[in-house]
Amino acid sequence: MSRVPLPYNPKVLDLFRNPKNLGKMEDATVVAVAGNPACGDMITFYLKINEQDMIEKASFESYGCAANIATSSIVTEMIKGISLKDAWTKITWKRVTEEVGGLPSIKFHCGILAVGALKRAIRKYYQNKGVSLDWLEKDLTFEERQALEEEELAKLLAKRMKLQEEQK
């Protein structure tokens, strides 16, 4: 049962109640996912990217808590109309956390997961195009690594549970 107090701020609550850019985008150029239902945390971003590599529009779907929904929503607003390069270099989990007015520390990983999903989308877009760029780091960024770690951990725990189930 949930025990840690979660004093969400008004901005997070507002984004939870009235999320912006919610829903699947049929004509998305690129779609990326971070997390999975086993973590209790999952975000899908849909980006429409134009020929100048600018993000024309962005939308999201989120399986997760209020912080997950709020950070996903704010990311779609922060990246609308900016270049992929700016989105890659300027959108960090810390900035996202600031934009939602701060989060309880136990919820930092929600912002990290949202930015992880965004960076995956950008990476995937250029991979699909077969383009390599000097600002696009070859190694996974902090947020991508964290997202991967969270997914791996959930898989590991699920596996361990299954094993225990079989031993019964």
Partner 1 sequence: MVENVRELLKAHEGMEREVYLDTENSSMVPQEIVEAMLPYYNQRAYGNPTLTHKPGWEAFEVIMESAQKIASFLGCKMPEEINFTPGETEANNLALMGTAFATKNKGKRIIISEIEPINVLHVTDMLQKFGFTTKKIPVNTEGFVNLEKLKEAIDKDTIIVSISAVNNELGTVEPIKEALEIVKDKNPETIFHTDASDAYGKIPLNVQDLKVDLATVSGYKILGPRGIGALYVKEGVNVEKILEGQIGTQKLWPGVENTPYIVGFTKASELAFQNFETNVNHMQKLRDKLMNGILETITEVKLNGPKGDMRAPDNVNISFLRCEGEALTIELSLKGVYVSSGSACTRRLLQPSHVLSAIGRKFSEAHGSILMKVTRYHIEEDITYVLEVIPDAVKRIRGIVGSTGVD
* Active site amino acids: 39, 110
Tell whether residue 63 is a contact of partner 1 (CB under 8 A). yes
Q: Which stretch binds partner 1 (CB under 8 A): 49-57, 87-95, 126-134, 160-168?
A: 160-168
For the chain, report the end-to-end CA distance as a whole number of angstroms.
25
**Token pair belonging to 55:** 């993000």
Q: Say if CB 114 and CB 86 are below 8 A apart.
A: no
Footprint on residues 88-147 left by partner 1 (CB under 8 A): 106, 109
Nearer to partner 1, 30 or 39 (CB): 39
For residue 166, the minimal CB distance to partner 1 (Å) is: 12
* Residue among 16, 53, 82, 124 that touches partner 1 (CB under 8 A): 16
Q: Is beta strand 30-36 parallel, antiparallel or unpaired with respect to 55-63?
A: unpaired
Q: What are the respective helix, strand and coil percentages of the chain, to the nearest 5?
A: 55, 15, 30
Q: Rounded distance, CA 58 to CA 33, Å?
A: 13
Site residues for partner 1 per CB under 8 A: 1-4, 6-10, 13, 16-17, 19, 22-24, 33, 36-44, 61-66, 68-69, 106, 109, 150, 153-154, 157-158, 161, 165, 168
